[in-house]
Amino acid sequence: MKVKGDESPLALPLAAVFAAFFVAPLCVLVLLSLHGEAAMRTWTAASYVKFFTDSFNYSILWETLLLGVKATLVCLVFGYPIAWVCARSGARLQSIIVFLVIMPILTSVVVRTFAWIVILGRQGIINQVWLGLGATEPLRLLYTETGVIMVLAQVQMPLMVLPILTVMSKIDPNLADASRVLGAGEWRTLWRVTIPLSLPGVIAGCILTYTACITAFVTQTLIGGARLIYMPLHIYQQAVGANNWPFAAAISVIFMVAVLVIVGILGAIGRRSETFARA
């Protein structure tokens, strides 16, 4: 027996809010990007032509997409072992690890970034140690891409760890045991059994981490400074600084389409890996 009636109307209020305040604004944004001025009188594709013919513009897009790849790889290298260790720990230790992993993402992003300024700055902790070791020049970390990648990796790690952990704790432990009984060593078991089976979690983690890294306006801007421009800052500068709304709209649309394409590709890989994991 099912609960009386169909419950789909319960989603209508939220659907209405999304239609009026999410879908409609994005449609207006697309329309605005196809106009020459904020008043939206003449139709033109000039903003898009400007973006793709000016190397300054498309190199920002490229740098942003690349930044996401680098930060996601760092998250994967450290996040996968965390999930692996966590999945093999007792319930209590597991809670503690998850608690510590999600703490950074819940602490205010400005506070987190501020902490990193204290750590990475010219008189920061890393440089105190570095100069204390006898170096003559302080390391430049703040306002560099390396700094941005470090901070992004710390901030977005939970988005990588949690999906992997979810998938990993559902893997039948007998499979790894079977692999060992059949003579495969631990590394081989990891490579041939555990990693392929946890691939759906890895892909889900990569999607979340990647999109979070390339759209992380606060971290990119505070750690990267004014000279390292990524897409979110570019949109903000064009919209607020230059007050060029049609162009800002065009870059926003281009950026969103880029994000959706990447999510679509990774999602397709994820679905294939899921059928692979089940086979």
Partner 1 sequence: MPAPRAFSGEVGTGSPQKMRPTEKASNIDWEALSLRIVFGALTIVAMVFLVAPTVIVLLTSLTASESLRFPPPALSLRWYYALIDADQMQRAAWNSLVIAFWTTLISVVLGTGASLAIARSRARWLRAADLLFMSPLLLPALAFGFAALVYINRLGFSPNIPFLVLGHVIVCVPFILRTTVAALTQLDPALLDASQSLGASSWMTFRRVTLPLIAPGLGSGAFLAFMASFDNVPVSLFLADERTEVLPIHLWQQIDTNLDVRTAAASGLIIVFTLVLMVVTERMAGLTRQMR
For residues 45 and 240, which CB has a smaller minimum distance to partner 1 in the complex? 240
Q: Is 94 in the site for partner 1 (CB under 8 A)?
A: yes
Q: Which of residues 110-129 bind partner 1 (CB under 8 A)?
A: 110-119, 123-125, 128
Q: Assess 195 for contact with partner 1 (CB under 8 A).
A: no
Binding mask 150-179 for partner 1 (x = CB under 8 A): ---xx--x----x--xx--x-------xx-
65 contributes a contact to partner 1 by CB under 8 A: no
Q: How far apart are CA 106 and CA 220, in angstroms?
A: 18
Residue 84 binds partner 1, judged by CB under 8 A: yes
Where does residue 254 rank: exposed (0-12), middle (13-18), buried (19+ CB within 10 A)? buried
Q: How far is the CB of 269 from partner 1 (least distance, A)?
A: 16
Residue 266 interacts with partner 1 (CB under 8 A)?
Answer: no
Instruction: Identify whether the C-beta of residue 214 lies closer than 8 Å to the C-beta of residue 45.
Output: no
Site stretch for partner 1 (CB under 8 A), options 47-55, 136-144, 242-250, 270-278: 242-250
Among 45, 93, 103, 135, binds partner 1 (CB under 8 A): 103
What one-character-per-residue DSSP string does 5-73 give?
A: S--GGGGHHHHHHHIIIIIHHHHHHHHHHTBSSTT--SB--HHHHHHHH-HHHHHHHHHHHHHHHHHHH
Which residue's CB is nearer to partner 1, number 154 or number 273?
A: 154
> Which one among 48, 78, 130, 143 touches partner 1, defined by CB under 8 A?
78
* Dist CA 108 CA 253 (whole Å): 28
Binding partner 1 (rule: CB under 8 A), the pick from 47, 57, 252, 273 is 252
Residue numbers 7-36 binding partner 1 by CB under 8 A = 7-11, 13-15, 17-18, 21-26, 28-29, 32
Q: How many residues bind partner 1 (CB under 8 A)?
A: 101
**Residue showing tokens 């013919």:** 53
Q: How far is the CB of 50 from partner 1 (least distance, A)?
A: 18
Query: Any contact of residue 81 with partner 1 (CB under 8 A)?
Result: yes
Choosing from 199, 205, 206, 245, the residue that interacts with partner 1 (CB under 8 A) is 245
